[in-house]
C-alpha cells in the first residue's frame, strides 16, 4: 500500500516531529512498532482513552524505564494521532475511492526511496531529463494499492522540471462513491513529456523504468533490457523491399507488452526501499516472459516498403488495376467522390497539368472542375497536390478550413500536442476525408491495420 499509515519512513518522521528522541523511536521499531497502523494498537485499541498507566507500561516494555512527563506526553500524542490516521485510512479503504484519483506517496517515503535508489543505481545520474515527475510515482503507487497494472504511455512520463514549471494545481468537482453528492478533489497533473525525437522518447521510457524501480515493483535493469531490445530494431538495416522499423512500431510493441503483462494477474507487492539489485521485484519474471510474446514481437517486424508512389497524372501504363482515387467531396452532398479507372487513367491522352503524361483517353480529373476544387482545397495551387506518406494514402493534408494537418500525429508518432490540439506542424486530427476526428488516421474506426 502507498498510504502514510503503512509507511515506516513516515512513522519515523512523524515521531520525530512530535519531539520524540531518536533512541526511543529506534526502540519502538526494534519491538515491531514500525508504522502508524501498528502504533495505533500498541497501548489501547482506537476508540478507547489513552491513560498514563497504559502509555507508561508501553514505554517500560520497550526499554524506556522511568519515563519522564515529557516523554509520556510525546508518546500519548504519537499514539493518539496514529489512531486517528489509522481510522481515516480504514475509512478510505471501505469507501474505495475511484481508481482515477491518484494516491499521493508520502513525502518521507519518497525521499527515502529516492536516496536508496541513487545508491543502488550509482552509475546513473537521476536528474534533469532523467528525473521523473513526482506525479508519476503517485500513479504507480495507485496501481499497487489497487493491484492493477495500467499502461503508461511515454508522453505521460514528464520530467520533474516540467512538473515544477506548471501553474498551481486546480480543484475540480467529482461525484463521491455513492454518487449522491459532490466532492472537491485535486485535479491530476496535466504535464506531458515532449516526444519529438527518438532520443526524447527513449529518455521518457527510461524515466518510466526509474519510477517503477523506485516504487519497488519492477527493477530498472529488467525494464532497460526491453528498451535496448526495442530501440535496437531502429538501427537495423532495411531488408530489400521492406521499410526500416519505425518509432511508431516500437510504441505499439511497448503497449502490447504492457497489455500482455496486465493479463498475467500478478499481485503487486512493493520491495523494501533498501532492497539491493539482486532482490527480484514482483513483475520481473512476468515482464521478461512478456518481452518474448508473439504479440510483442510482431509489431517490430519490418513492413513492406512502398515500391512506387501513387500520384495522379504521373507515370505510365494503365495504372494500378481497379484502384480508385477519392476526392475530398463533390461539392454538393459533401461525400467523397470516387473516380472509376476509366476516368482516372485512360488511354492515349496527354494530361493538361503538371506531373508528366496522362496515358489515357478518359477525362483528366486534375484538370476538371473537381480537380481544380481539390487543388484549391489543398492550398497547393492549380494542377498539384500535397504528397502524402505511404501509410496515410487516401488521406488529405489540410482541414476544410485550409489548416494543415500533422502527419506525425496521424502516424501515432507526434506527441507535441494532445488529440484535437495543434502543434507546429498542424492540427492533431484524423486526415481521412470527411472525418477530421480526434484520433490518428491509423486508429480510424473500422480501418484495417
Q: What is the pLDDT of residues 11-48, one digit of tens each?
A: 888 888 888 888 888 888 888 888 888 888 888 888 88
Q: Give the contacts of 137 (CB within 8 A, at least 6 positions apart).
A: 105, 110, 211, 214, 215
Does one domain contain both 244 and 216?
yes
Tell whether the model's pLDDT for residue 260 goes beyond 90. yes
Q: Which domain holds residue 79?
A: 4-95
Residue 160 lies in a domain: yes
Tell whether the model's pLDDT for residue 140 goes beyond 60. yes
Q: CA 191, CA 179: separation in Å to the nearest integer?
A: 29
pTM of the full structure: 0.57
Is the distance from CB of 172 to CB of 147 less than 8 angstroms?
Answer: no
Task: Grade residue 186 by pLDDT with cuts at 50, 70 and 90.
Answer: low
Element (H, E) at 66: none
Does one domain contain both 85 and 141?
no
pLDDT, greater one: 150 or 382: 150
Q: Which three cell numbers stand for residue 197?
A: 525525437
Tell whether the model's pLDDT for residue 104 goes beyond 70. yes
DSSP-assigned letters across all residues of 146-198: HT------GGG--BHHHHHTSPPP-EEEEE-TTSSSEEEEEPPP------SSH
- Among residues of the chain, what percentage have pLDDT more than 90? 28
**CA-wise closest residue to 224 among 279, 267, 270, 284:** 284
- Sign of the dihedral through C-alpha 82, 85, 89, 90: positive
Mean pLDDT of 229-247: 91
DSSP letter at 392 equals: G
Which of 69, 95, 121 marks a domain boundary? Answer: 95
Q: CA 378, CA 327: separation in Å to the nearest integer?
A: 11
Is the distance from CB of 232 to CB of 224 less than 8 angstroms?
Answer: no
Tell whether the model's pLDDT for residue 234 goes beyond 70. yes
Q: Which three cell numbers stand for residue 64?
A: 524506556
Q: CA 264, CA 31: separation in Å to the nearest integer?
A: 38
Task: Grade residue 338 by pLDDT with cuts at 50, 70 and 90.
Answer: very low
pLDDT for 323 equals 37
Does one domain contain both 77 and 136?
no
Is the distance from CB of 365 to CB of 372 less than 8 angstroms?
Answer: no
- Sign of the dihedral through C-alpha 109, 264, 89, 279: negative
**CA-wise closest residue to 394 among 312, 303, 279, 274:** 312
**CA-wise closest residue to 141 among 220, 193, 212, 222:** 212
Does one domain contain both 272 and 157?
yes
Which of 57, 72, 95 marks a domain boundary? Answer: 95
Residue 147 lies in a domain: yes
Mean pLDDT of 165-177: 60
Q: CA 182, CA 373: separation in Å to the nearest integer?
A: 53
Residue 330 lies in a domain: no
Residue 348 lies in a domain: no
Task: Grade residue 102 by pLDDT with cuts at 50, 70 and 90.
Answer: low
Is the distance from CB of 56 to CB of 67 less than 8 angstroms?
Answer: yes
Q: Which three cell numbers stand for residue 270?
A: 512493493
Dihedral pair phi/psi, residue 242, rounded to 5°: -130, 150
Task: Grade residue 446 by pLDDT with cuts at 50, 70 and 90.
Answer: confident
Of the ranges 75-84, 209-218, 338-347, 429-438, the best mean pLDDT one: 209-218
Does one domain contain both 70 and 216?
no
Is the distance from CB of 218 to CB of 287 less than 8 angstroms?
Answer: yes
pLDDT for 187 equals 59
Mean pLDDT of 402-423: 88
Tell whether the model's pLDDT for residue 327 goes beyond 70. no
Residue 402 lies in a domain: no
pLDDT for 185 equals 57
Residue 33 lies in a domain: yes
Tell whether the model's pLDDT for residue 2 goes beyond 80. no
Does one domain contain both 256 and 201?
yes
Which of 232, 267, 300 marks a domain boundary? Answer: 300
Does one domain contain both 260 and 233?
yes
In 247-315, which residue ranges form alpha helices assigned H by DSSP? 247-262, 284-291, 294-297
- Among residues of the chain, what percentage have pLDDT more than 70? 73
Mean pLDDT of 365-372: 45
Amino acid at each position: 500500500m502507498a498510504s502514510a499509515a503503512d509507511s515506516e519512513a513516515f512513522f519515523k518522521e512523524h515521531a520525530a516531529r512530535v519531539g520524540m528522541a531518536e533512541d526511543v523511536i529506534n526502540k519502538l521499531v526494534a519491538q515491531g512498532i514500525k508504522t502508524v497502523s501498528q502504533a495505533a494498537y500498541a497501548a489501547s485499541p482506537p476508540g478507547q482513552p489513552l491513560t498514563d498507566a497504559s502509555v507508561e507500561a508501553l514505554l517500560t516494555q520497550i526499554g524506556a524505564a522511568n519515563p519522564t512527563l515529557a516523554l509520556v506526553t510525546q508518546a500519548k500524542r504519537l499514539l493518539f494521532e496514529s489512531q486517528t490516521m489509522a481510522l481515516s485510512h480504514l475509512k478510505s479503504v471501505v469507501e474505495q475511492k475511484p481508481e482515477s484519483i491518484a494516491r499521493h506517496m508520502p513525502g518521507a517515503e519518497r525521499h527515502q526511496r529516492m536516496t536508496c535508489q541513487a545508491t543502488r543505481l550509482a552509475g546513473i545520474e537521476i536528474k534533469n531529463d532523467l528525473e521523473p515527475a513526482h506525479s508519476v510515482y503517485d500513479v504507480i503507487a495507485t496501481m499497487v494499492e489497487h493491484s492493477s497494472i495500467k499502461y503508461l504511455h511515454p508522453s505521460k512520463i514528464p520530467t520533474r522540471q516540467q512538473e515544477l514549471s506548471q501553474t498551481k494545481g486546480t480543484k475540480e468537482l467529482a461525484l463521491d462513491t455513492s454518487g449522491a453528492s459532490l466532492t472537491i478533489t485535486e485535479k491530476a497533473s496535466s504535464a506531458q513529456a515532449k516526444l519529438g525525437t527518438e532520443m526524447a522518447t527513449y529518455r521518457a521510457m527510461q524515466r518510466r523504468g526509474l519510477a517503477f524501480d523506485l516504487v519497488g515493483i519492477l527493477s530498472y535493469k529488467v525494464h532497460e533490457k526491453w528498451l535496448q531490445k526495442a530501440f535496437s530494431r531502429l538501427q537495423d538495416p532495411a531488408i530489400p523491399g521492406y521499410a526500416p522499423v519505425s518509432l511508431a512500431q516500437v510504441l505499439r510493441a511497448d503497449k502490447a507488452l504492457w497489455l500482455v503483462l496486465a493479463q498475467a494477474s500478478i499481485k503487486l507487492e512493493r520491495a523494501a526501499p533498501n532492497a539491493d539489485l539482486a532482490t527480484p521485484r514482483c513483475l520481473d519474471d512476468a515482464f521478461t516472459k512478456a518481452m518474448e510474446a508473439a504479440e510483442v514481437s510482431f509489431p517490430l517486424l519490418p513492413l513492406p516498403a512502398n515500391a512506387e508512389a501513387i500520384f495522379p497524372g504521373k507515370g505510365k501504363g494503365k495504372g494500378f488495376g481497379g484502384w480508385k482515387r477519392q476526392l475530398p467531396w463533390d461539392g454538393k452532398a459533401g461525400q467523397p467522390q470516387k473516380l472509376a479507372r476509366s476516368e482516372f487513367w485512360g488511354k492515349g491522352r496527354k494530361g493538361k497539368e503538371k506531373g508528366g503524361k496522362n496515358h489515357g483517353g478518359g477525362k483528366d480529373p486534375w484538370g476538371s472542375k473537381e480537380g481544380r476544387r481539390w487543388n484549391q482545397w489543398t492550398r497547393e495551387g492549380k494542377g498539384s497536390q500535397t504528397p502524402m506518406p505511404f501509410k496515410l494514402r487516401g488521406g488529405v493534408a489540410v482541414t476544410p478550413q485550409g489548416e494543415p494537418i500533422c502527419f506525425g500525429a496521424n502516424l501515432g508518432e507526434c506527441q507535441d500536442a494532445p488529440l484535437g490540439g495543434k502543434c507546429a506542424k498542424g492540427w492533431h486530427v484524423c486526415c481521412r476525408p470527411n472525418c477530421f476526428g480526434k484520433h490518428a488516421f491509423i486508429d480510424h474506426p473500422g480501418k484495417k491495420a
